[in-house]
Amino acid sequence: MNPLELKVKELFFADVGTADNYEDRFDADLFAEFELTAPIQFKAKFVRVKEGIALNIDSIQTKMKVTCVRCQKSISWPLKIEGDEEWFYWEKGHEPEKSEEEIMFVEMRNWSVNLREPIREEILLALPIAPRCAKKCIEFKEAEEPETKPLGEKLRNSLANPRRSSKIHPR
């Protein structure tokens, strides 16, 4: 059985407004398109709405392998996503006519929703634009600079030099 597939039959028969808290941990290799280095901690609330099931995401936490834009080293980047909402509609006709996002449906054959797509989207939105090491890690071009200045001054100059970071998107 697919661990990302959840049964929502009870919610279908429940009153509108009924909420169900849900917490789980998913293996990183369920999302092989990302280089996740930790399992995904998932906390959400499923709410019965007239049109389907609203998925209120409390938090999604994991870690991802990314490359530091300054030193090109591989680093483990913590991802913490909080407070978003996605909807699964019962069937065609209940969904909004226009939506910029892909519309998701409850799989009525087995009363299930698949969490793969909403989690994948949330991770995509949370990808860091310009990940950097937590500590200062700029590589100095020792060979190109004469060794006349003390290291402390070189360090300050390097950090203050805007050319070094002109291609880095500001955070």
Q: Which residues bind Zn ion (CB under 5 A)?
A: 68, 70-71, 133, 137
The answer for 72, left when phi > 0, alpha when psi is -120 to 50, beta otherwise, is left
Q: How far is the CB of 68 from Zn ion (least distance, A)?
A: 3
- In the bound state with Zn ion, the residue whose beta carbon lies nearer, of 70 and 120, is 70
**What is the rounded distance in angstroms from the CA atom of residue 38 to the CA atom of residue 76?**
9
- In the bound state with Zn ion, the residue whose beta carbon lies nearer, of 39 and 131, is 131
**Residue 33: count of CB within 10 angstroms of its CB:** 8
C-alpha pair distances (Å), 126 with each of 31, 60, 96: 15, 10, 26
Phi then psi dihedrals of residue 19, to 5 deg: -120, 145
Q: How far is the CB of 81 from Zn ion (least distance, A)?
A: 23
Q: How far is the CB of 70 from Zn ion (least distance, A)?
A: 5
- In the bound state with Zn ion, the residue whose beta carbon lies nearer, of 47 and 66, is 66
**What is the rounded distance in angstroms from the CA atom of residue 116 to the CA atom of residue 30?**
8
Amino acid (1-letter code) at residue 127: L
**What is the rounded distance in angstroms from the CA atom of residue 66 to the CA atom of residue 81?**
17
Phi then psi dihedrals of residue 118, to 5 deg: -60, -40
Q: How far is the CB of 144 from Zn ion (least distance, A)?
A: 20
Q: How far is the CB of 73 from Zn ion (least distance, A)?
A: 5
- In the bound state with Zn ion, the residue whose beta carbon lies nearer, of 133 and 159, is 133
- In the bound state with Zn ion, the residue whose beta carbon lies nearer, of 59 and 165, is 165
